[in-house]
Amino acid sequence: MKPMGHTRFLALATVATLVLAACSGGPGSGTPGPSAQAELGDAEAELNLIIWAGYAERGEIDPNFDWVTPFEEDTGCKVNATPMTDSNNGVSLMQSGEYDGGSFSGDATNRLMAGGIVAPVNTELIPNYANIFEGLKLKSHNSLDGVPYGVPHGRGPNLLMYNTEVVTETPTSWDPVWEGGSEFEGKISIYDSSIYIADAALHLMTTQADLGITNPYQLNDEQFAAAIALLEAQKANGATYWGTFSDQVASYAAGDVVVGTSWQFQVNLMQAEDAPIAGVLPDEGSTGWSDTWMIAKEAKNPDCMYLWMNHMASAEANGQATVWFGEAPTSQAACDFAETLSPGHCELTHATDEAYYDKIWYWSTPQADCADTDDATTCKDQDDWVQAWTTIRGA
């Protein structure tokens, strides 16, 4: 029984992988698209979610905000929530097949739907779905061919977060993080994700209108190059990059950064600790996100996932979650509940104001065909964006 020769091993391995490849097939291999679950079975024992940090609280930071423990007690599904750093990370985690679903933004949902990683939802199994604002249902980021693929959850803009003691006048534009930010050299905090290129493009829509950018996520070569140049200038000005909200909070608290891009969540957290921090939506608008709970096609605990999606569409859970994170609730009932936790929350987040959200560019996936009907246009795709971001960050 000599040890296996190297060549023999290689042969065996190749055969093994061939067999596996033949058996697994792929989403693009001609198999029909995933279909929604027909009925609700008995709840399984656990639920594995991918979430944005802050989307599954169990009262550890503030005992008043806990929508996970009541769910676990009601259904017996133990929730394991894994936070993602950005949408690219979320998509990759879903591809591993270990998770039952998660809360995804528009720049992840398209890829998940196209890749057959998520399944459509059977809204009849989700009683609370009916109450959700019509303006959130069946949008391009949460549906495919008129079939709903998820349960909407909160939306909001990316904000300019600043230290009120250093930036004494409320900023009205994004200038402080771009050209006007030379006075803040080395103290600028930027989201570490390729999707941030869209923010550069958004800024160019006002400062270099002749570039003709109509959609900050679909950029042709010239527009893209201009956005990258802007980002490189920003980096040369000493921008620092945050991947997790706690890192950003720590650097604001230490005074290492005074201005940057963030979410209402961090603003809320720091104001709760009486830090001199505020957030503002500049006049030219901003990028933002509209999140959806989606279920994995290969979910191991699909019934728990359906119960969760229904739970998160309920007034109490959605109200708590959206007040906690600082985003807009998804139904009138949730709005009313949110009012009890934080009066004026619905108005503050413009939950029913569709005109407001016209100024917000939801995160979307860059596509080579520019996601439009014009065949002649070609744009930089997701790969180009990630590679460009790697180059900026790695240089």
Backbone angles phi, psi at 353, to 5 degrees: -95, 90
The residue among 345 and 380 lying less far from another protein, judged by its C-beta, is 380
Q: What amino acid is encoded at 261 in this protein?
A: T
The residue among 376 and 395 lying less far from another protein, judged by its C-beta, is 395
Query: Could you tell me the smallest distance in angstroms from the CB atom of residue 134 to another protein?
Result: 29
Query: Could you tell me the smallest distance in angstroms from the CB atom of residue 217 to another protein?
Result: 13
Neighbours of 363 (CB within 10 A): 24
The residue among 183 and 353 lying less far from another protein, judged by its C-beta, is 183
The residue among 138 and 253 lying less far from another protein, judged by its C-beta, is 253
Q: What amino acid is encoded at 9 in this protein?
A: F
- Angle made by CA atoms 350, 355, 360, in degrees to the nearest 5: 75
Query: Could you tell me the smallest distance in angstroms from the CB atom of residue 93 to another protein?
Result: 7
Query: Could you tell me the smallest distance in angstroms from the CB atom of residue 381 to another protein?
Result: 5
Residue matched to tokens 């030219």: 284
Dist. CA 263–CA 193, nearest whole Å:
14
The residue among 24 and 373 lying less far from another protein, judged by its C-beta, is 24
The residue among 122 and 365 lying less far from another protein, judged by its C-beta, is 365
The residue among 136 and 195 lying less far from another protein, judged by its C-beta, is 195
The residue among 24 and 168 lying less far from another protein, judged by its C-beta, is 24
Neighbours of 126 (CB within 10 A): 21
Backbone angles phi, psi at 33, to 5 degrees: -65, 160
Dist. CA 86–CA 65, nearest whole Å:
24
Sign of the four-CA dihedral 281, 286, 287, 288: positive
Query: Could you tell me the smallest distance in angstroms from the CB atom of residue 302 to another protein?
Result: 15
Sign of the four-CA dihedral 75, 79, 85, 86: negative
Query: Could you tell me the smallest distance in angstroms from the CB atom of residue 29 to another protein?
Result: 9
Dist. CA 182–CA 334, nearest whole Å:
43
Query: Could you tell me the smallest distance in angstroms from the CB atom of residue 278 to another protein?
Result: 18
Query: Could you tell me the smallest distance in angstroms from the CB atom of residue 362 to another protein?
Result: 18
Q: What amino acid is encoded at 188 in this protein?
A: I
Query: Could you tell me the smallest distance in angstroms from the CB atom of residue 359 to another protein?
Result: 27
Give the side-chain half-sphere CA count within 13 A for 145: 6
Query: Could you tell me the smallest distance in angstroms from the CB atom of residue 239 to another protein?
Result: 9
**Helix residue ranges per DSSP H, the chain:** 6-24, 69-75, 87-95, 106-114, 197-207, 221-236, 245-254, 264-272, 302-312, 315-325, 332-341, 345-348, 354-357, 382-394
Sign of the four-CA dihedral 371, 377, 383, 389: negative
The residue among 170 and 244 lying less far from another protein, judged by its C-beta, is 244
- Hey, is 322 helix, strand or coil? helix
The residue among 245 and 306 lying less far from another protein, judged by its C-beta, is 245
List C-alpha distances in Å: 380 to 88, 198, 278, 392: 16, 12, 35, 16
Tokens at 233, concatenated: 């200038």
